[in-house]
Structure 1
Amino acid sequence: MSTSRGPSVRQRRLAAELRRLRERKGFTGDEVAERLTWSTAKVSRIENARTGAKISDVRRLLDLYDIDGARFDDLISLAHDAAERGWWEEYRDLPSPLADFIALESEAGTIRQWESLSVPGLLQTEAYAQHVIEGYHAISTMPPQEIRRRVDVRMTRQRILHRTQPTELLVVLDEAVLTRRVGNSQVMHEQLDYMLATCELPNVTLQLLPLDAAHAVMAESFTLLEFPAAHEVTFPDIVHTESITISHFVDESETYMYRLAHNSLVKHALSPVETRQRILEVRNSWWRVDE
């Protein structure tokens, strides 16, 4: 199984800024390597976040590019931030696409999501997640220990909604998901309860797209990740889509189309208050559990 550290947004920010500073000075990668007695491959790895940049190396690059004062201090602070390990790095057997996605998701300021097949991972209970992940076993052998680890990872991802500066989560969910059985009635009942509780958080907004609503946008499920500026270094929005076999990051030039698609879905969806009422109705009619 291929693995990856999953370079963080901080690492990617630093890499992109170092590349921009080199280009602004008019240096090629070969010229930087020659001046610092490095290999050209090392320069490339640093600028593409394929390796963690040592603080000493960043200092040498900034000196070469004549960066000083507050800007120098700011980028060194970013380099220190980039050197911090992400929690997902403890799960070294994670597939590379999953590690990459978690690294990005963990630093997103806002997540806009459209989901038509299942409850989004950030809103799943442990039992619901267990059944979803076990379903992969039908097409790809996954031992029980690996399933358990994947569930643990999914639950840990949810911390971004509860931290001191929580991520804002804006979800539009196809109403059909509420009645699509995952596990038994108890699992579904608890899942809808959990969604209701999580949506009480001020940073979480859930809206249902009714089955009888006008579907102006027939779009596959997608996740739009937006990142706040840090150390005066911006990072582009990223869209993630996936299928059974492919985890895909959409080209930067197309992210605006997904933002428009999400805005359209929001417009046709129930309000958060109406959504809550509908979830209660489905919980009590479809997934009623005797006390």
Structure 2
Amino acid sequence: MVLKSPTVRHRRLGRELRKLREEAGLLPEAAAKQLGWSRQKVNRLENARTMPSATDVADICDLYGTDSATKAGLIQLCKDARQRGWWTAYSDVLAGSYVVLEAEATAIRTWEPLLIPGLLQSEGYARTIIQGGRPELEKAELERRVTARMTRKITLLSANAPTFHALIDEGAVRRHASPADLMATQLDEILQVMDRPNVTIQVMPSAAGLHLGLQGSFSVLSFDPEDPSVGYTGSPGGDLYLEAATPVNRLMLTFERLTAMALSPEQSADLIAAVRSDYD
């Protein structure tokens, strides 16, 4: 299932509206008729394909006989779902829903067999990666994309930072870059962030050989208990978001298996430090 909802709170609001309708014993057609809406509008609101107004939510609550506290809570949730996040300032260079989900996640698990994960990238590393993939970019747009990627890192530094567990292949750690100090700086930043209590970083050793993770990178983002986790995989051909329980659970199981194969966080820090010393 491809995710099209812009925010977690928006999806939560849709689920709550559907739950209230069902508890009221109304089919979508009946609810739409009494509200003076089309059935399509009711479906779009409940599936988080359209953002309701506060008035829409109030009208729904009145029809379903919702108590005043629940009504007030849903109206506030509607307002919160409309809030502009930092990413809206970069809508010209950021596509898709990933940064929105990332900013709202309580736990982020990511596996990267080729590159340093985006949340751990240094400015120089990010600039080189972005420019390599988009050599046609003008300098101003390139720098704007780099700034957007660096701004993403506030996710790990905020007061409500999520837990972040990254598995990185040894090849990505040892990959050479030009100039030589680019990779040294990148490794320094990884070693520094490893000390944060919410961050766990493990390296998959080359000695692990062939394994399922080599099929590609992926992330699983988890939220409050009432919100289902979302899986994500990206490629030059586009991004794929997974909401259905079966594929998300499959990604979680794969992550657990890869975690068991990887070096411990302490061993990983030693390996990264050893690779970093080669640049001295």
TM-score scaled by length of structure 1? 0.87
Aligned partner of 1:224 among 220, 224, 229: 220
Counterparts of 1:32 and 1:87 in 2: how far apart (Å)? 36
* 1:188–1:152 CA distance, 2 compared to 1 (3 A): same
Shift of 1:6: 6.7
Separation in structure 1 between the aligned mates of residue 167 and residue 255 of structure 2, nearest angstrom: 8
The 1-side partners of 2:142 and 2:49 are apart by: 28
Task: Give the conservation status (yes or no) of the 8 Å contact 1:6–1:102.
Answer: no
Is 2:5–2:49's contact at 8 Å kept on the other side of the alignment?
no
1:235 alignment partner in structure 2: 227
Alignment-derived partner of residue 30 in structure 2 = 31
Structure 2 counterparts to residues 30-49 of structure 1, below 5 A: 30-49=29-48
Distance 1:17 1:37 in 2: 20
Q: How far did residue 66 of structure 1 move?
A: 1.7
User: Which residue of 2 is the match for residue 123 of structure 1?
Assistant: 120
What are the ranges of 5 or more consecutive residues in structure 1 without an aligned counterpart? none
Cα shift at 1:86: 1.7
Q: Give the structure 2 partner of residue 245 of structure 1.
A: 237
Instruction: Provide the residue aligned with 1:212 in structure 2.
Output: 207
Q: Which moved more, 1:174-183 or 1:71-80?
A: 71-80
Q: 1:283 is matched with which residue: 269, 276, 280?
A: 276
- Tell me the secondary structure at the aligned position of residue 106 of structure 1: helix
What per-residue deviation string (whole Å, max 9, x for no partner) do you get for residues 48-75 of structure 1?
3333322121111112122214433332
Indicate conservation of the 8 Å contact 1:6/1:101, yes or no: no
- In the TM superposition, residue 77 of structure 1 has moved relative to its aligned partner by 2.9
Aligned to 2:101: 104
Contact 1:132 1:182 in 2 (8 A): no
CA contact (8 A) 2:228 2:243 kept: no
Measure how far apart 1:216 and its partner are. 4.7
SS at match of 1:56: helix
The 10-residue stretch of structure 1 (248-257 or 194-203) with the greater mean CA deviation from structure 2: 248-257
**Secondary structure of 2:167's partner?**
strand
Matched, 1:146 2:141: yes
Q: Aligned Cα RMSD in Å? A: 2.0
Alpha-carbon distance between aligned partners in 2 of 1:190 and 1:49, rounded to the nearest angstrom: 42
- Residue 215 (structure 1) shift: 5.0
Closer/same/farther in 2, CA of residues 195 and 236 from structure 1, 3 Å limit: same
Structure 1: how far apart are the matches of 2:145 and 2:207?
35
Equivalent residue number for residue 155 of structure 2: 160
CA distance in 2, matches of 1:156, 1:51: 28
**Equivalent of 2:265, from 262, 267, 272?**
272
Question: Residues 143 and 45 from structure 1, CA distance in 2 versus in 1: closer, same or farther, beyond 3 angstroms?
Answer: farther
Gaps of 5+ in 2: none
Give identity over the alignment, percent. Answer: 37
Figure out how many residues of one structure are paired with residues of the other and give that number. Answer: 275
| Separation of aligned partners in 2, 1:208 and 1:258 | 18
Question: Residue 170 of structure 1 aligns to which amino acid in structure 2?
Answer: H
Q: Distance in 2 between matches of 1:260 and 1:183?
A: 36
Question: Aligned letter for 1:78?
Answer: L
Q: Matched residues in 2 for 1:36 and 1:29: separation?
A: 10
2:188 maps to 1:193: yes
Looking at structure 2, the residues matched to 17 and 197 of structure 1 have their Cα atoms a distance apart, in angstroms, of 42
Q: Report the CA distance shift for 1:214/1:236 in structure 2 as closer, same or farther (over 3 A).
A: same
